């Protein structure tokens, strides 16, 4: 059993807020954007989601780690967040699938974590004042720290919109994942989740995964049935090479997109994106489909959105909206060769209301 005073931790926000808590995971100091996720479960999937690159993840549900960690729940090969924040981290998980504790997982992956602080207050602060940069430091209880040095380290950290986080997680290799061969789709990897790949392959799609800056002429030479743009981290405006490729592919081949993929498709069509005050992260976001009137609950993880008014000057149509703040949740073009959603229809974790998005993409490939 870990001793309560074995490690200490400190969380410093850019507005000067300092919180002291108990340290878990790895000893060290990390800096990133502090973001909150409102899901009650799915901490393993969230930790390993490449869309969280460059961010310190805070869970609003107070009890994390109670069912342990299982490698089958990974969305990538490793933890992608910079640090982890929770009200309480369970040290003795109780679940037949558990392979290790959350603390052990964080320590093995070199990720600092803090517990025992007021995450409710931090969430309210983010909602009122907007998302902030933060430094998380975990250190031995007998170690003295220089708070001024930590503050200086935070000041030096650039604005998140100036960092290409996709480059930090980029895989240069091309991967082929075979299914039944019913369709062949090239997936442009901006930080794809395993669950998205699984949803495609389970529908008979052979998936070829290529880096985000893979040239469009190479894609067209392979004559795939469609192209899919994945989720990923950071400001979409930075990903200029992918935006250029999409512009050259649209109207020549069916295109699908999820999360960052939707934003890149919108930018390629001439629309604009903006940074949300505190983003959408969780598994309880209500989305309305404008054609059917149906409302469903979705899983989301994004800090940027497409500007509503900017769509008027493009050939895209808004198909779905978020009922909390009326931001865009779905887009399609007028000849029905493009379909994209802002939420995560693979819903891992989350409700399965939105799995049909992949069926609609398959319908487009069939036509």
What is the dihedral sign for C-alpha 339, 344, 348, 349? negative
Task: Count CB atoms within 10 A of the CB of residue 248.
Answer: 15
d(CA 9, CA 157): 20
- Chain centroid to CA 210: how far? 19
Q: Is residue 317 flagged as an active site residue?
A: no
> How far is 262 from 339, CA to CA, in rounded Å?
8
Catalytic residue, chosen from 33, 259, 280, 302, is 259
Give 70's contacts (C-beta < 8 A, 6+ positions apart). Answer: 44, 97, 98, 99
Give catalytic status of residue 344 as yes or no: yes
Closest CA to 10 of 127, 112, 110: 112
In degrees to the nearest 10, what's the CA dihedral of 305, 308, 310, 311?
A: 100
Select which of 29, 75, 115, 346 is catalytic: 346
Written as six digits, the tokens of 118 are: 């007021």
The torsion defined by the Cα of 145, 157, 112 and 232, in degrees rounded to 10, comes to 180
Nearest Cα neighbor of 51 from 242, 246, 189 is 189
**Which residues on adjacent β-strands are paired with residue 75?**
none
Q: Which of 280, 302, 329, 344 is catalytic?
A: 344
CA distance between the termini of the chain: 59
Task: Please choose, from the candidates 295, 302, 250, the residue with its C-alpha nearest in 3D space to the C-alpha of residue 273.
Answer: 302
Cβ-based neighbour number of residue 280 at 10 Å: 24
Q: How far apart are CA 232 and CA 289, in angstroms?
A: 24
Active site residues: 259, 344, 346
């Amino acid at each position: 059993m870990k001793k309560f005073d074995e490690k200490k931790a400190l969380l410093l926000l850019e507005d000067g807020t300092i919180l002291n808590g108990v340290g878990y995971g790895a000893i060290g100091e990390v800096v990133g954007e502090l973001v909150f996720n409102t899901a009650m479960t799915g901490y393993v999937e969230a930790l390993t989601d490449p869309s969280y690159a460059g961010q310190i993840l805070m869970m609003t549900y107070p009890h994390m780690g109670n069912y342990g960690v299982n490698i089958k729940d990974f969305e990538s090969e490793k933890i992608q967040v910079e640090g982890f924040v929770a009200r309480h981290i369970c040290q003795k998980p109780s679940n037949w699938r558990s392979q290790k504790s959350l603390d052990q997982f964080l320590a093995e992956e070199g990720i600092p974590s803090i517990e025992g602080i007021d995450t409710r207050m931090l969430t309210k602060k983010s909602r009122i004042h907007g998302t902030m940069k933060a430094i998380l430091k975990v250190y031995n209880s007998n170690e003295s720290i220089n708070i001024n040095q930590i503050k200086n380290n935070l000041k030096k950290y650039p604005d998140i919109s100036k960092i290409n986080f996709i480059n930090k997680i980029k895989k240069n290799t091309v991967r082929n994942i075979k299914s039944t061969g019913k369709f062949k789709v090239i997936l442009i990897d901006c930080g794809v989740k395993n669950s998205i790949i699984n949803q495609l392959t389970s529908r008979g799609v052979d998936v070829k995964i290529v880096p985000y800056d893979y040239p469009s002429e190479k894609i067209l030479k392979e004559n795939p049935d469609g192209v899919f743009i994945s989720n990923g981290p950071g400001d979409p405006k930075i990903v200029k090479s992918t935006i250029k490729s999409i512009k050259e592919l649209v109207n020549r081949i069916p295109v699908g997109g999820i999360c960052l993929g939707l934003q890149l498709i919108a930018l390629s069509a001439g629309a604009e994106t903006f940074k949300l005050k505190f983003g959408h992260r969780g598994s309880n976001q209500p989305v309305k489909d404008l054609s059917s009137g149906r409302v469903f609950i979705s899983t989301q993880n994004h800090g940027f959105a497409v500007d509503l008014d900017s769509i008027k000057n493009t050939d895209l149509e808004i198909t779905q909206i978020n009922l909390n703040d009326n931001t865009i949740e779905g887009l399609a073009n007028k000849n029905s060769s493009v379909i994209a959603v802002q939420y995560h229809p693979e819903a891992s974790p989350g409700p399965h209301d939105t799995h049909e998005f992949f069926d609609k993409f398959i319908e487009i490939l069939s036509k």
